[in-house]
Structure 1
Amino acid sequence: MALAFTSSTAIHGSVSSSSHQQPKVSQLGNTQLLDQPKKSLNFCQRRCAVKPLYAEPKRNESIVPSAATFVSPEVAEKVIEAEDFEKLAKDLENASPLEIMDNALAKFGDDIAIAFSGAEDVALIEYAHLTGRPFRVFSLDTGRLNPETYQLFDAVEKHYGIRIEYMFPDAVEVQALVRTKGLFSFYEDGHQECCRVRKVRPLRRALKGLRAWITGQRKDQSPGTRSEVPVVQVDPSFEGLDGGSGSLVEWNPVANVEGKDIWNFLRAMNVPVNSLHLKGYVSIGCEPCTRPVLPGQHEREGRWWWEDAKAKECGLHKGNIKDESVNGNGNNATQATDTVADIFDTKDIVTLSRPGVENLLKLEDQREPWLVVLYAPWCQFCQVLEGSYVELAEKLGGSGVKVGKFRADGEQKTFAQQELQVGSFPTILFFPKHASQPIKYPSEKRDVDSLLAFVNALR
């Protein structure tokens, strides 16, 4: 997600979506560098001056330029009264996104900014515009975004007459990561390290210049990780301008809105959207870690698809992620099956125990081939697969191919990862008659015809 801030008052005082003309950009000569003598600003200059998100301490490295920080205009310090945000969250639980946005901007003014990723959270900018209040927008440019995302940034700036405030990763940290581990290390050891360098740390620097921020988190975005996102809360992970725990407030105006309703809103308002959405992309991040999803797949399946569903977070919203030992239904993943309804429950699918799976691994000349799904009943992606897999089992009845299932979470998770190639749920394996190793189904296409083609090509 690219983060960048903008003030709607930074250009000619107000924002108008009715005019699509590109506003003229003041040249750098109209701003003052920190190391220059401070000059008095006239009215126009004050309105055009850039307020930095976070003035970082000076670095000793000679390769880091010091001319990238601008003088901010003199603004009277705003006193933020202590407020019970937990109570406020309850009061606004049934409020519209527009009302929540209006509350956020009214309370924090220039000390709050919208986090814009270049995806469907352009809805946040539209809601802010509709309030008629000044607002700022920021985005994280990781250096690995799709060209279409950069094009959307430009379109949004022109549409609303704003300037997005971009935050970039530390060049020295990126250089060290790439030189040490290569450009695509995240495919091998997980995406967390790369996201930490390119996204989390730039975000931390950005938020240190604010007292509140606005995100596009929704409860339906990620199974088991964002289902309890409140509309407003004291940020549990990051610090704000005043420093220390509780110094930053997080607003989530669309927390209770479903994805389809966000898109109905965007179409109705005729706002710019990322052209990748027309190509099957729903949740959009960095180019190497994002891909389209198929009909029936959850939107987060397009992010970090090689990892377990519980890992599909970059760390920007880790404070709202449930404990990894808790599954999407709120139950401990190691608890017995009586707490979670089982799936793939049909006479055509054989339930395999661990000894049964171990026997399949040992046999080098089996009497009949097996197709086995490795799953967790709480996994939403497994639940989506259930209909296709049950229908496939019916079609394969009497064909000589046995269809089975093996619950690979809880106590069996380590075994499944080490012996059965499980990186995420669901994983589908085919055990041929004349092969010593199972063959992993490689595609995200989990419709009946695709699965049947896979089986027919191998049996």
Structure 2
Amino acid sequence: MAFAASSSAISGSISSRSLRPQELRGPQIGSFRLLDRTFVPSVSANSSGRRCLVKPVHAESKRSDSIVPLATTLAADPEVAEKVVETEDFEKLAKVLSDASPLAIIDKALEKFGNDIAIAFSGAEDVALIEYAKLTGRPFRVFSLDTGRLNPETYKFFDTVEKHYGIRIEYMFPDAVEVQGLVRAKGLFSFYEDGHQECCRVRKVRPLRRALKGLRAWITGQRKDQSPGTRAEIPVVQVDPSFEGMDGGVGSLVKWNPLADVKSNDIWNFLRAMNVPINTLHLQGYVSIGCEPCTRPVLPGQHEREGRWWWEDAKAKECGLHKGNIKQEAESSNGSAQTNGRAAVADIFSSSNVVNLTRTGIENLTRLEDRREPWLVVLYAPWCPFCQAMEGSYMELAEKLDGSGVKVAKFRADGEHKEFAQKELQLGSFPTILFFPKHSARPIKYSSEKRDVDSLMAFVNALQ
């Protein structure tokens, strides 16, 4: 994501008796210069809707994620100090805006927060946010996180967007000392072995935290259909559950998700209609675009988020920028909460052509060394968006194989069965597809990421 300065700044009203001329400065995201707003009393938002006394804004210290009190604060005017302001009920506002268009939502966000809000731009299809912001006619700012590991195409796209809209993206960078420490200790590609969270924390989350300390609100391109497991319930506006804004503390930052209820196809139709520039990686099969080592094109039958961190399970496919989304899926997929998860998530691959194997059933299948007929089995979890994405192709395959002598089955391998599936059934991530030949005890794992009917059929025909 990267920051872009608006074409015109909205400056706070400052009394001449309170401020010297040299103290008038423009606002910057993540900068260490004192803002002109620093001398204007502000009110911190909170999720409870309680009344809050005004307090001085704090400035961020250099090379630190913490905020420190302003070195010189003006004496509070007793008359101002006694004022109280009702904070916005953003839960109620989200319901009011639930049927509003993205244009109307962004217009409302820019109207409410002015120069204290910015669009988070990742170099993917959330360029739609910038287009909507331009259409409102209001000043706006854009920021992005340059992790140092982006594709060359993404950097070129940033430049194209700046020139197309006449803006400057406000870039945030990771701390060089932190990156150096991580790489020296673990190497350049440690995330393939121990997960992407640590690298994302250094290269993305901490720079984002610094950026948001200079804002009261931010706009993201999250959509519910991007990741059904982690983003299915995001509202169009909310008090940010993970980060703090310029006033500090819980409830000090508001998060706007204007595209929450918009489908991917509708976004792309809008981009084409408005002749908006796009990242050329999209033309190479990339849908969700992140850092180069952790992003690849999606293949037939795959969900768009499966191109991100493909070596990990679905529940880990957030980098930390939207970690507040993960709770719902974690409750559904965690073994200790499995009862609730099964009650809340509908089963998939339900067909008369697909045999539902129990734990005993698949254990017996693995013991058979001389089977009468081969078996094709998918190891799945119904909450997994990538299993959901291949449901159609697997069901079609089962219909085609009906009467062919090949049994098609499924085994739910999450929760209490996950450890068994990992040790005995080669489960790496969901979904995993196994073929049990007639005359072999050990199943053969389908190694390709292509899950369209033709690719699966070729796998079966090659082995039966």
Displacement of 1:119: 0.5
**Aligned AA for 1:51?**
P
- For 1:350 and 1:100, the matched residues in 2 are separated by 47
2:174–2:207 CA contact under 8 A, matched in 1:
yes
The change in CA–CA distance for 1:73 and 1:159 in structure 2 (over 3 A counts) is: farther
1:226 aligns with 2:231: yes
1:77 to 13, 35, 40: 40
Deviation readout 1:71-112 (Å, 9 max, x if unpaired): 766886374552222222222222221121112112211111
1:334–1:410 CA contact under 8 A, matched in 2:
no
2:331–2:341 CA contact under 8 A, matched in 1:
no
- For 1:368 and 1:182, the matched residues in 2 are separated by 47
SS of structure 2 residue aligned to 1:233? strand
**Aligned AA for 1:99?**
A
| Structure 1: gaps (5+ residues) | 14-37, 56-68
- 2:61 maps to what in 1? none
The change in CA–CA distance for 1:393 and 1:127 in structure 2 (over 3 A counts) is: closer
- For 1:210 and 1:339, the matched residues in 2 are separated by 37
- 2:150 maps to what in 1? 145
- 1:53 maps to what in 2? 29
1:164 to 162, 169, 176: 169
- For 1:92 and 1:227, the matched residues in 2 are separated by 17
- For 1:345 and 1:129, the matched residues in 2 are separated by 46
1:274 to 270, 279, 298: 279
- 2:5 maps to what in 1? 6
SS of structure 2 residue aligned to 1:158? helix
| Structure 2: gaps (5+ residues) | 11-19, 44-84
Aligned length: 410
- For 2:389 and 2:325, the matched residues in 1 are separated by 24
1:212 to 214, 217, 221: 217
TM-score by length of 2: 0.81
The change in CA–CA distance for 1:77 and 1:423 in structure 2 (over 3 A counts) is: farther
- 1:105 maps to what in 2? 110
**Aligned AA for 2:105?**
I
- 1:183 maps to what in 2? 188
Q: How does 1:34-433 map to 2 (within 5 A)?
A: 40=22, 51-55=27-31, 77=40, 79-80=42-43, 81=85, 82-327=87-332, 333-335=338-340, 340-363=345-368, 366=371, 368-397=373-402, 399-433=404-438
**Aligned AA for 1:351?**
N
Displacement of 1:207: 0.5
SS of structure 2 residue aligned to 1:267? helix
SS of structure 1 residue aligned to 2:207? helix
Deviation readout 1:382-424 (Å, 9 max, x if unpaired): 2332333233334444555433211112321222233323233
**Aligned AA for 1:225?**
T
- 1:19 maps to what in 2? none
- For 1:222 and 1:336, the matched residues in 2 are separated by 17
The change in CA–CA distance for 1:123 and 1:347 in structure 2 (over 3 A counts) is: closer
Deviation readout 1:227-273 (Å, 9 max, x if unpaired): 21111111111011111111111111111211111111111111111
1:226–1:322 CA contact under 8 A, matched in 2:
no
- For 2:279 and 2:369, the matched residues in 1 are separated by 50
The change in CA–CA distance for 1:350 and 1:441 in structure 2 (over 3 A counts) is: same
TM-score by length of 1: 0.81
The change in CA–CA distance for 1:74 and 1:308 in structure 2 (over 3 A counts) is: closer
- 1:17 maps to what in 2? none
- For 1:437 and 1:147, the matched residues in 2 are separated by 44
**Aligned AA for 1:134?**
P
SS of structure 1 residue aligned to 2:229? coil
- For 1:97 and 1:236, the matched residues in 2 are separated by 22
Displacement of 1:324: 3.5
Deviation readout 1:322-381 (Å, 9 max, x if unpaired): 3334449xxx64358676543333444332221232234445565543321111234343
1:438 aligns with 2:429: no
- For 2:111 and 2:344, the matched residues in 1 are separated by 45
